């Protein structure tokens, strides 16, 4: 939106829930809003378990012909939004490659219900509600080289990569500020497939650091947060591990300014925007050696497998501060390729080419 605003364009957001006006103001964005009516409201979907969420989105397939107004160009983030053949557009994929993702479903979407859903979708639902189909005539871009490779393996088509636009402004650090950085932080959604429980293992093995598990927790995920806090007590690390659910932007920036090591244990993350934000804030990243995290953190010794997790953290936490300083300076330079300016420039170029 901000990139379009800079061009003098005020975009219209098509969704069933209006954008948060405070968020738009805080992000210096201007946009209009056209309400659309999905068969299943998105606030309801947000509270469903994984398998049911995938099922629900099928029935939210919608055609552009049903819109009240006509538009000159469309950026599409919902694959079930179907366009006429002559409509200039770009479809942005930020996850697995549509239907083939169900061949190896994510945790929480396995077993008989998932297999039943696969069969029902393929043989009954897909013709009328093609929410998970590859619309081969459309213009797609995808969010990382990792997901682009998955898409190629599934469909035999190589999609151009446009990284998610990340606002790096206001995220910085002071050289030599290590005395104020005494924390090890997990920063992402606090859900089971992100594996924040790995932080508890670090707290047990390396008790000299302060540990913080920070991130979004929707209402239906609160039982998992309570279970994680109970696990911390059972492991005897509760006094050294703080939980910060649903932090504000200001809280996130304050925490990252005191963070020495940012730990991201999720396996095969599609990209990982919070890793970029943490690096921009002066932390040393320590991430799982898989998925899109490899694109963000190119140094082998800052990535781990489950087998090397504890040992490799011990190696980096004992590094001299001079070495850490060199590492983060190199990383800060490297992540400029993920900046909002670069990504928005690529997305606007599609509009220019098709306009």
178-336 is a CATH 3.20.20.450 domain? no
pLDDT in tens, the chain (355 residues): 999 999 999 999 999 999 999 989 988 899 999 999 999 999 999 888 777 888 899 999 999 887 778 899 999 999 999 998 889 999 999 876 665 554 555 554 556 666 777 778 888 888 899 988 899 999 999 999 999 998 998 888 999 999 999 988 878 888 999 999 999 999 999 999 999 999 999 999 999 999 999 999 988 889 999 999 999 999 999 999 999 999 998 999 999 999 999 999 999 999 999 999 999 999 999 999 999 999 999 999 999 999 999 999 999 999 999 999 999 999 999 999 999 999 999 999 988 888 6
For 72, the token pair is: 């000159």
Q: Which residue has the tokens 């797609």?
A: 140
Report the C-alpha gap between 281 and 171 in whole angstroms.
5
pTM score? 0.89
Number of neighbouring beta carbons within 10 Å of residue 58: 20
In the chain, where do the E strands start and end?
A: 12-15, 32-35, 62-63, 74-76, 81-82, 89-93, 140-142, 183-187, 210-215, 241-245, 259-264, 284-288, 303-304
E strand or H helix at 226 = helix 222-235
pLDDT at 173: 85
| Sequence ranges of the chain with CATH classification 3.40.50.2000 | 178-336
- For the record, the structure tokens of 2 come out as 């901000």
Res 355: pLDDT = 66
- Buried/exposed 105-132: b ≥16 CB within 10 Å, e otherwise: bbeebeeeebeebeeebeeebbeebbbb
Let me know how long the chain is. 355
**The pLDDT of residue 354:** 83
pLDDT value at residue 112: 65
Q: What's the pLDDT score for residue 153?
A: 85
What is the per-residue pLDDT for 159? Answer: 94
Q: Decide if 312 contacts 206 (C-beta within 8 A).
A: no
217 φ, ψ (degrees, to nearest 5): -135, 100
């Amino acid at each position: 939106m901000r990139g379009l605003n800079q061009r003098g364009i005020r975009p219209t957001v098509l969704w069933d829930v209006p954008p948060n006006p405070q968020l738009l103001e805080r992000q210096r964005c201007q946009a209009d809003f056209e309400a659309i009516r999905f068969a299943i409201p998105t606030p309801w979907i947000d509270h469903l378990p994984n398998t049911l969420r995938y099922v629900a989105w099928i029935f939210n397939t919608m055609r552009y012909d049903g819109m009240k107004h006509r538009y000159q160009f469309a950026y599409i983030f919902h694959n079930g939004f179907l366009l006429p053949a002559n409509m200039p557009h770009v479809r942005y994929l930020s996850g697995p490659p549509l239907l083939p993702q169900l061949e190896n479903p994510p945790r929480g979407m396995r077993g008989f219900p998932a297999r039943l859903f696969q069969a029902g979708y393929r043989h009954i639902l897909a013709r009328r509600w093609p929410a998970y189909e590859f619309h081969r005539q459309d213009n797609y871009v995808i969010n990382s080289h990792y997901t682009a490779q998955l898409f190629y393996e599934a469909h035999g088509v190589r999609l151009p990569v446009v990284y998610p636009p990340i606002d790096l402004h206001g995220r910085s650090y002071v050289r030599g500020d290590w005395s104020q950085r005494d924390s090890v932080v997990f920063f992402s959604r606090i859900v089971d497939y992100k594996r924040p429980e790995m932080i508890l293992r670090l707290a047990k093995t390396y008790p000299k650091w302060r540990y913080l598990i920070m991130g979004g927790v929707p209402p239906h995920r609160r039982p998992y947060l309570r279970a994680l806090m109970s696990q911390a007590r059972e492991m005897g690390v509760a006094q050294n591990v703080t939980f910060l659910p649903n932090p504000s932007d200001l809280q996130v920036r304050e925490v990252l300014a005191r963070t020495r090591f940012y730990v991201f244990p999720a396996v095969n993350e599609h990209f990982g925007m919070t890793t970029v934000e943490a690096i921009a804030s002066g932390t040393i990243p320590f991430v799982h050696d898989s998925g899109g995290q490899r694109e963000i953190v190119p140094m082998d010794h800052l990535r781990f497998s489950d087998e090397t997790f504890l040992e490799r953290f011990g190696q980096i936490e004992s590094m001299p501060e001079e070495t850490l300083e060199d590492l983060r300076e190199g990383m800060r330079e490297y992540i400029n390729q993920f900046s909002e300016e670069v990504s928005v420039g690529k997305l606007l170029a599609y509009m220019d080419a098709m306009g």
